[in-house]
A and B are shown apart, each in its own frame.
Chain A
Amino acid sequence: MKYLDEYRDGKIARKIVDEMHRIQTQPWVIMEVCGGQTHSIVKNGIDHLLPEGVELVHGPGCPVCVTPLEMIDKAHAIARRPEVIFCSFGDMLRVPGSDGDLFTIKSQGGDVRVVYSPLDCLKIARANPEKRIVFFAIGFETTAPANAMLAWRARQEGLKNVSLLVSHVLVPPALAAILSSPLNRVQGFLGPGHVCAVMGYEEYEPISEKFRVPIVITGFEPLDILQGTLMTIRQLETRRAEVENEYSRILDRAGNLPAQKLVASVFSTGDRKWRGIGMIPNSGYHLRPEFEDHDAERLFDVAQIDTQEPAICISGEILRGLKKPRDCPAFGTLCTPQRPLGATMVSAEGACAAYYAYGRHLQGSGSVDVPVHSIGAA
């Protein structure tokens, strides 16, 4: 299986890292955007392979993490209602709200169902006309075409008992928000590969130009991440700021046009609150007025919920690349994946949960001498 080894070949990895050493003349801070990339980096110890001075910080690209607590509480309030079948991707079930999680609600008799595809909700709705089927529509642009199709089909079929609780977030406005902060440290981005498989990368070009930052659309395999990082360093060292595509075997500049078309027919962009970060202008999808009969926020009279996040949690600073999980006094002690205090610990793709899963809470702070097992071991 020669091709299986290619993308984690130790010799190729070494060559890429050698090239980084050769061209790098000063420290650089690079943010990977996607939670899948964060997971891959921490699992494979990629950040520890890089030359000293090249720092990877972990971005806000985990949709489960950035779903605001108020929205989770709203979901729970709806899921508790006896006439509701509440459907969700599995990832959201363990995320705690102010009072328990969806599993708790299920154990107390709520009809909470994990679905593989949003289209499963249509089957459940047809079979349960007396029930109200509510789907928790979270995700980034990768997930939007699937969720948009649910709304589109429900309207087309006249399935009045299907609605979506929409908490969709978008990557480019988040990058602009990070770069606009006076505290910003990020000088280049590894762009999210699978998000761009849907959306293409044209919309990243004005951001790269305006803020003078390289954005390299990158896959999530170890050699992708190393190659994307090298391409970013190369741009930084030569004072270029462009959008480049490391992941051209999967995507092109245009992305998936049929998917974009349906997403645009169902959703419009508007302000959205991100857990840990706060409101980011135009950073979310909302259902268009034509779909208001399928908008759970409109259909269910859930009172405005005020929530309080623990003051000790620094997830907002982690999501913006200002801090690392081990800068947090609660990391691995008060805050664990079993009892998460904030955004970056609630899902396996959050930076804190990834650090925890691979034992980084057990290392002395500042330690970087982690052996790299995975790369080249295949």
Chain B
Amino acid sequence: MCLAIPGKVVDAFDQNGMRMAKVQFGGIIREACLEYVPDTKVGEYVLVHVGFAISKVDEEEAARTYQLLEEMDQLTELMAPVVNERGGEEEGP
């Protein structure tokens, strides 16, 4: 569970005083916190671990790593339910 998953930042915004992003992983989009990589811009790629970007990566690295993680069946954390602002659970993406 310590492997971070690369994805593309498709939106960046402030929410509850935190820098947040929507990050695309293959066909899945999830929210991620950008507080630890604050200069990240839309269109860039980041390594995300449990909802936090921990470093930037380039596009080639991201594509290759993502495919390897998929083959290793290491993408299941992305399937965790989405918790909405009302604290309720929606279906996983």
Contacts and interface: CB of A to CB of B under 8 A. Distances in A.
A61 B2 contact: yes
A237 to B, nearest CB: 29
Interface string B5-29: 0000000000010100000000000
A326 interface: no
Interface residues of A, number: 61
Nearest to A171: B2
Contacts of B30: 116
A28 interface: no
Interface stretch (A10-18, A45-53, A193-201, A336-344): A193-201
Given A146-B52, A259-B36, A3 B87 contact: no
Contact of A3 (B55, B64, B71, B73): B64
Nearest to B57: A250
B36 A89 contact: no
Interface string B67-93: 110011110111111111111110000
Interface in A69-90: 89-90
Contacts of A125: 87
A127 B47 contact: no
B42 interface: no
B64 A7 contact: yes
Contacts of A374: 71
B41 interface: no
A120 interface: yes
Contact of B1 (A4, A113, A117, A139): A139
A93 to B, nearest CB: 11
B87 A124 contact: yes
Contacts of A35: 1-2
Number of chain B interface residues as a range: 35 or more
Nearest to B20: A119
A89 to B, nearest CB: 6
Interface in A100-152: 113-120, 122-128, 139-140, 142-143, 145-146, 149
A139 B85 CA distance: 26
A34 B2 contact: yes
B68 to A, nearest CB: 6
A295 interface: no
B64 A123 contact: no
B37 A139 contact: no
B80 A90 contact: yes
Nearest to A259: B36
B62 to A, nearest CB: 10
A258 interface: yes
A251 interface: yes
A142 B54 contact: yes
A188 interface: no
A194 B2 contact: yes
A7 B66 CA distance: 12
Nearest to A221: B68
A171 B72 CA distance: 23
A39 B54 contact: no
A89 B78 CA distance: 11
A116 B52 contact: no
Contact of B52 (A34, A140, A149, A249): A149
Which of A116, A139, A146, A153 lies at the interface centre, i.e. has the most chain B CB atoms within 10 A of its CB?
A116
A142 B4 contact: yes
B54 A259 contact: yes
Contacts of B65: 221
Given A116-B81, A127-B87, A143 B49 contact: yes
25 contacts: A4-B67, A35-B2, A36-B74, A40-B72, A63-B2, A64-B1, A113-B81, A115-B83, A116-B82, A117-B52, A120-B51, A123-B84, A123-B85, A123-B86, A128-B87, A139-B1, A142-B54, A146-B52, A194-B4, A197-B55, A249-B58, A250-B47, A256-B55, A259-B54, A374-B71
Given A64-B1, A250-B47, 8 more contacts: A62-B2, A115-B83, A118-B51, A139-B1, A139-B50, A145-B54, A256-B55, A347-B1
Interface of A: 1, 3-4, 6-8, 34-36, 39-40, 43, 61-64, 89-91, 113-120, 122-128, 139-140, 142-143, 145-146, 149, 153, 157, 192, 194-195, 197-198, 220-221, 249-251, 256, 258-259, 262, 347-349, 374
